[in-house]
Structures are given as structure tokens and as C-alpha cells.
Amino acid sequence: MRPVHHLALLLAALGCQAAPPPDTTAEAKQAIDAADANWARLTAAGHADSLAELYHANGVLLPPNMAPVHGREAIRAFMTTMNSMSSPPPILRVWAESVWASGPHALELGRWHFGWPATAKRPPGLPAADSGKYMVRWVNENGRWLMVQDIWNSDVALPMTPASPSTKKS
């Protein structure tokens, strides 16, 4: 009877193991697509406060050619500065190409494109239009998906600077 007893314990133990976390990719993708659409709308309206609320309190923004921006309040200040640099703001499109999620964590890979209206005063040195790619790590906190880490960069090459004068050899 001992072998049967061990088999019963093994089967009971297997039955009590926690089920794997549900695949949350579809739910996360739907929420992230909505946040991306909201991002473009808020950018066009110049709402830095609302944009900052899309980030986790300890979120990190990793803008190209700049130092990291840590925390929602610093992100709010960054967005306020960005919004003040052009009038009107650029027209932005953001779309997720893929979202992978597991439980409360998600990773989004996407593309962006922006362009200023012809009459816009844009920041010096910026092109009239630009496009590129981005990656965002999201966390679901109390039923709300928030950006934790956000990095993006342009597909447009940086302008080439002239080479420094070389020393002539005799």
C-alpha cells in the first residue's frame, strides 16, 4: 500500500501547484494602444501634467542626446520645457509594433513620427519632420498601466561635423 500512498501524495502536490500567470498580452496591448493614442493627443494639446501622469512615480525617461530624467515630477518639468520650445507643437503619431506582457509587466516596441505644421516656430536645428523607434517598459499598478522606462531615438542621422584640422606632416 505504500506505493499507492506516495502516488496519491504526488498527485495531490501537483494539483496544488499555482497555475502559471495568465497571458496578459492582449489586455496590455489594448491599454497601451489607448495610452499611445492619448499620448499623441496630449502632446498636440501641450498637456505636460497629463503626459507625466502616464508615467510611474519612479519612472525614467531616456531622451536621445540628453541625460536621463528620473521621477514623475522631473518628467513633468521635461515635458513642460519641450512644450514651450515650439508653437504650435508637432503633430505626433505613436504606434506599438509589438507588446509582450506577463502578469503586471509589459514591454512595448514601437515607432513614432512627428512633423510641425508649416507655420510652426520649431526649435533651432530640428528637422520639419522626424521618425524613429522606441521601447517602453510598463507596469500594471492597481489596474492601470504606467510607463516605468521610456527610451526613443531617431532614424534620421545626426549631421556630420567637419573633422578637426589635422596636423600637417612634413
The domain spanning residue 58 has which CATH number? Answer: 3.10.450.50
The tens-digit pLDDT sequence of the chain (170 residues) is: 445 455 454 444 545 555 545 567 899 999 999 999 998 889 888 889 999 999 999 999 999 989 999 999 999 999 988 877 777 777 889 999 999 999 999 999 999 998 888 887 877 777 788 899 999 999 999 999 999 999 999 998 877 776 656 555 55
**SS3 (DSSP) at 37:** helix
pLDDT of residue 45: 85
Q: How many domains does the chain have?
A: 1
Distances (CA, A) of 129 to 49, 87, 109, 126, 158: 25, 15, 21, 8, 14
Is 9 domain-assigned?
no
What pLDDT score was predicted for residue 10?
45
At residue 137, the pLDDT reads: 98
Q: For residues 68 and 133, what is the distance between their CA atoms, to the nearest angstrom?
A: 17
In a domain, 29, yes or no: yes
In a domain, 3, yes or no: no
**CA 145 – CA 139 distance, rounded (Å):** 6
Q: Tell whether 163 is covered by a domain.
A: no
Residue 136 lies in domain:
21-117+130-154
The C-alpha cell of 53 is what?
501622469
| pTM, rounded to two decimals | 0.76
Q: What pLDDT shows up at residue 168?
A: 52
Nearest alpha carbon to residue 35 among 110, 132, 116, 131: 110
CB atoms under 10 Å from CB of 38, counted, come to 16
Q: Is residue 80 part of a domain?
A: yes
Q: Kindly state whether residue 95 falls inside one of the protein's structural domains.
A: yes
Residue 161 lies inside a defined structural domain of this protein? no
pLDDT at 17: 53
7 lies in some domain: no
